[in-house]
Structure 1
Amino acid sequence: MPSLQDPLLVVTDLDGSLLDHHTYSWQAAAGWLEKLKAHRIPVVICSSKTSAEIKTLQTGMGLEGAPFIAENGALLHAGALGQGQQPDEPVTTLLGQDYAAIREALETLRRSHGFKFFGFGDVNEQLIGEWTGLAPHDALLAQQRQASEALIWRDSDERMTEFVQELEARSLALIQGGRFYHVLSKGSNKGAAVRWLLSLFRRNDGRPWQSLGLGDGPNDVLMLQAVDYAVIIRGYSKTPLDLGPSQKNVYRTAAYGPEGWTEGLEHFITSDGLE
């Protein structure tokens, strides 16, 4: 079990995990965020949210300059680390196709096959606010997408199967989040992004970095499989999270959201590290 003295990377989902599913509040986790910051343990946000949304949240949480993973792993930002001992390492990396290419593919499929869905690029910030509960300014940040599209599916399950096949033929993938489906390049995911970031940390200082991940939704499974210690936060998804037999260190919380986030850290980080 890790302690606060170990080289530890905390990787966290946002909605339904560090952020309350209904209110988007993170205050219940404030004590642990301060504790991790005091011990120089990086808190890496790994979310379906955009880079613009994450940077705003980092400022509020006191996590400015920390690495983050945006748009379900389609965008990687190395933060201050990318400007440190590895100056040739890209600070921001897009994996696969950019937003314009993904939107073009989706619009072509809708015209040619008649699929029924609405993406963030199809609507204004007012409607996104209705879907998410976000204020108009925050909804605009959610529209600043760089490497994926969030959408609401309005068609049948049978048509969904056909839609996924058409996406795969275009080197795209569909994943299910807590509120929306997300279309991004095939091979881009939270797990691959976490492994990339861990390798970067280990190359930078040679220390045996451990990782602890926290998430609540189906799109967090690959992230939780990529870390040493996995916290499955109690959530509202109808699909139970199953990490498979390869992930041994798994804890399921009784509490939701940031309360569950705190519960998970208290379970895995040893009491010796709290002294």
Structure 2
Amino acid sequence: MFVGFRILSRKRTKRIILTDLDGSLLDHDTYSFGPAKSLLVMLEKIGIPVIPVTSKTFSEVVKLKNELNNNHPFITENGSAIYIPKSYFKTTKLSWKIRNNHFLIQNGYNRDYLIDSIQNHANEFLAEFKTFNAMQKIEGIQSIAKLAGLSEEDAWNANNREFSEVVVWLSTDKRKQMFADCLTKNGLLVQQGGRFLNITGLHTKGEAVKKLISIYCDQPGIDKCDSLAIGDSNNDISMLEGADTALVIKPRKRKPIKVSRKTKVHISQEFGPKGWVSGVTEWLQNFS
């Protein structure tokens, strides 16, 4: 037990934190996790994994995980893929692919298929959006860097997508909804992230989270899991609904997202990583 916390864990119960990044663990504007640094170190020491569940790419998450000293599984591109370090679990499955020294569980379409589908099915909207793929080809990687407030290296990582496409919407909210409905009718999912639209197949963060939790629960010596999901945007709702406990991070410039669940759901009083710290601390103290 860690000094200052009443109960952190119970034998044969695996506690897991599944967290969105931008606007939750990371500050929405600076991308800093500074306020959470000490708590992250403590969680690592007591064996509670912090699992990124994000719209970010493999390249982006690996860079961040190195900064966090985090060697746990992670979910990329809004649930499109689950990556697991090869030596992480004792029990694995032959159906898992191997990529970049990780096991890969692919849930979504490849990016090329998504780009073709957007072009084929959304012709009437072509003047109302830009894709990251087109921006890099036509305007160069610096255009993405400037728009997202990133270095060119980070912009390259953000555009190094495997199973999703990012759309920068330029028109009205009404037209955006029509665009989303058009793609949904053709088997794609349009989700609003913190800044941009994210296009994937018809899968969600929530589905990927359920798969990963079940893998943890199937490991030797584990009878059950106790999961905390953390997020601040609409694309986080599915995992917030599916976890044992949900922590909604209060955004700076809008009202908190709404979830349908009525129990074990908390809304932070602070923004970004400060709200993350207070919410996780409360969860640690109220394990039953």
Please give the TM-score of this superposition, normalised by the length of structure 2.
0.87
The match for 1:129 is: 145
Quote the Cα distance in structure 2 between the aligned partners of 1:31 and 1:155.
42
Matched, 1:107 2:114: no
Quote the Cα distance in structure 1 between the aligned partners of 2:89 and 2:110.
24
* Paired residue total: 270
Q: CA deviation at 1:162?
A: 3.1
Matched, 1:221 2:232: no
Structure 2 residue identity aligned to 1:212: L
The match for 1:144 is: 160
Contact 1:4 1:36 in 2 (8 A): no
Quote the Cα distance in structure 2 between the aligned partners of 1:3 and 1:104.
51
The match for 1:119 is: 131
Matched, 1:251 2:266: yes
Unmatched segments (≥5 aa) in structure 2: 97-102
Quote the Cα distance in structure 1 between the aligned partners of 2:197 and 2:287.
41
Q: CA deviation at 1:97?
A: 1.2
The match for 2:99 is: none
Please give the TM-score of this superposition, normalised by the length of structure 1.
0.91
The match for 2:106 is: 94
Unmatched segments (≥5 aa) in structure 1: none
Deviation sequence 1:145-177 (CA, Å, 0-9, x none):
011111111133343333223212321010111
SS in 2 for 1:78: strand
Matched, 1:40 2:47: yes
Deviation sequence 1:69-121 (CA, Å, 0-9, x none):
10111111123466532242512122131101001111223546545211110
Quote the Cα distance in structure 1 between the aligned partners of 2:128 and 2:64.
33
CA spacing shift, 1:183–1:21, aligned 2, 3 Å: same
Matched, 1:77 2:83: yes
Q: 2:258 aligns with which of 218, 242, 245?
A: 242
Cα RMSD between the aligned structures? 2.2
The match for 1:68 is: 74
Matched, 1:4 2:20: no
Q: CA deviation at 1:125?
A: 2.1
